[in-house]
Amino acid sequence: MKYEDFYNPKYNPSATDTICTFRIEPRDPKRSMKWLAGGVAAESSIGTWTELTTEKPYMKKLAATVFELAGNSAQIAYPIELFEPGNLPNIMSSVAGNVFGLGDLRYLRLLDIHLPKELVKSFLGPAYGISGIRKTIKVTKRPLVGTIVKPKLGLRTKDHAAVAYAAWAGGCDIVKDDENLSSQAFNPFEDRVITTLDQRDRAEDETGDKKVYLINVTAETQEMLRRAQFIEDHGGRVAMIDILTCGYSAVSTLRNHGFKLILHGHRAMHAAFTKLPNHGIAMPVIATVSRLLGIDQLHVGTAVGKMSEDREEVETNIRKCKEPLGDLEPTLPVASGGLHPRHVPALIDIFGIDFVIQAGGGIHGHPKGTRIGATAMRQAVDATLAGQTLEEYAASHSELAEALQHWPTG
């Protein structure tokens, strides 16, 4: 089969096909899109750059098919027989593997992926999802408020735990390790788990509210499993994993092991795939596959703050976390990156109430410190949900007033 043979505009995708949407930019503008898109379909299924003597007639039903071309956009259907159920590395190695290295393509971007129900059901998906997380934390009618211990690296265990306690005591539901805090000598994993969970319990006793600590288990896979077990054995409720640096197999292993832990997915390194608009793998794809693998809550951008995605991109990421995907639970979106109380009204306008506001510097950078910073963030949420402006609410809430003065613009 030649590349052009993989293009068939009359093809009607089957309900069992996997559908991928690509944006293709040629190196040579004289090359037709039929040939280029056909090359992507061929090289990600049963074809290659030349005709083969080893082809068999029965293989043709396994060919991926380009069924729609619109400008530089191509939709490609993949027969379900191409993939091993429950094996995401196999699926991604096919649709997003060698095709990115094809010399005839200047740029290639995987914009979206849709898997059929037959493949979706081969994955466990989130164990908790939005409803399970809310049941655990016992917060139902507002966004969850969280922070990241800052500085992200360098604090000794006792000081790390003290920052976490102050955040919980001030009103945070969630405290999180940052993505590059592992088990460094200044803050060893086991000591940090025990000491910080003790402070979580202290905050729960004092406030009467449920609190959770998102503990980073990112490591070699067997060590990661050991750390997850350590968290569970010591009464932790959440394990955090850097999904891309650990890899799809590691995420699968962690989910499939059967821990009774919420899985928090950090997307560290995602911009290496997602940031260029004309090349790489778009964040909606990462959101979809993370949900398949069992991630209960996932960073999706902010549209405000310091991250690069705009509102349309973030809203698409949110939709991918929540839209119907077989029988899988929805994943809770997390907004994180340069956030402070002034951003709260915009965030709630974008996300609704089913998300986590994860603010680091916007809490710890409050002039009165972490505890007051956490209170100010909760006040910003309360004000917005009550239909008041932040300035109106701040007139009788000094914590928020000081935050607004400290961060005069959104």
- How crowded is the C-beta side of 321, counted as CA atoms within 13 Å? 26
Q: What is 98-162 written as a DSSP string?
A: GGGG-TTEEEEEEEEEE--HHHHTTS---SSHHHHHHHHHT--SS-EEEEE-SSSS---HHHHHH
What pTM, to 2 d.p., does this model score?
0.96
Q: Mapping DSSP to helix (H, G, I), strand (E, B) and coil, where does residue 34 land?
A: helix
Mean pLDDT of 390-402: 98
The pLDDT of 39-67, averaged and rounded, is 93
- Note the pLDDT tens digit of each residue in 373-389: 999 999 999 999 999 99
Q: What angle do CA 395, 396, 399 make, to 5 degrees?
A: 90
Spatial CB neighbours of 325, under 8 Å, sequence gap ≥ 6: 115, 120, 125, 288, 291, 292
For 343-368, write each residue's pLDDT tens digit: 999 999 999 999 999 999 999 999 99
Structure confidence at residue 174 (pLDDT): 98
For 217, phi then psi, to 5°, come to -100, 5
Q: How many CB atoms lie within 10 A of CB 267?
A: 25
Q: What is the pLDDT, as a whole number, of residue 262? A: 98
- Mean local confidence (pLDDT), 332-338: 96
Asked if 250 contacts 224 with a C-beta cutoff of 8 angstroms, the reply is yes
What local confidence, expressed as pLDDT, does residue 410 receive? 83
pLDDT tens for residues 133-162? 999 999 999 999 999 999 999 999 999 999
pLDDT in tens, 243-259: 999 999 999 999 999 99
Region 188-203 average pLDDT: 98
Catalogue the active-site residues: 150, 266
Crossing angle of helices 283-293 and 311-322, rounded to 10°: 20
**pLDDT value at residue 50:** 87
State residue 326's pLDDT score: 96
Q: Which pLDDT value is given to residue 393?
A: 98
Q: Which of 304, 305, 298 is nearest to 365 (CA)?
A: 305
Rounded Cα distance between 294 and 292, Å, is: 6
Which domains are seen in the chain, by residue range?
Answer: 3-120 (3.30.70.150), 129-406 (3.20.20.110)
Instruction: Give the rounded percent of residues in the chain with a pLDDT score beyond 90.
Output: 96
Rounded distance between C-alpha atoms, residue 215 and residue 348, angstroms = 26
Query: What local confidence, expressed as pLDDT, does residue 220 receive?
Result: 97
Condensed to tens digits (0 to 9), the pLDDT of residues 264-309 reads: 999 999 999 999 999 999 999 999 999 999 999 999 999 998 888 8
At 40 the pLDDT is: 97
* pLDDT attached to residue 150: 96
Residue 51: which pLDDT band, with cuts at 50, 70 and 90?
A: confident
Pairing of strands 262-266, 238-242: parallel
Residue 249 sits at the vertex; the CA angle it makes with 247 and 253, to the nearest 5 degrees, is 120
Phi, psi of 259 (to 5 degrees): -65, 150
How much helix, strand and coil, in percent to the nearest 5, is found in the chain? 45, 15, 40
